Amino acid sequence: MDWLAEHARPIGDSILYSVIGIFVLMAFFWLVETILPFSMRKEIEEDHNTALGMILGAFIIAIAIIIGAAIRG
């Protein structure tokens, strides 16, 4: 029981920060999708624009790294 009392707060904090990080990541993705003058979904799915898919993936990874660094402090 002592282990649970000692580790409950850090586990809860990790879950909370993970949810906040996922929300911020989705908000950035929505913002980029809104700002672009073309449809990313159409470009990737229908036109098979591999370069856009790679750039989008790199963007998501970069934002995730920034969010993770901000959470760690």
Number of CB atoms found within 10 A of residue 67's CB? 19
- pLDDT of the residue at 51: 93
What does pLDDT average to in each consecutive run of 10 residues of the chain (73 residues)?
A: 78 83 86 88 90 89 82 68
Q: Is the pTM of this model over 0.85?
A: no
- pLDDT of the residue at 73: 59
**Sequence ranges of the domains in the chain:** 2-72
- pLDDT of the residue at 70: 75
- pLDDT of the residue at 1: 65
CA angle at residue 21 from 71 to 42, to 5 degrees? 140
Q: What type of residue is 50?
A: T
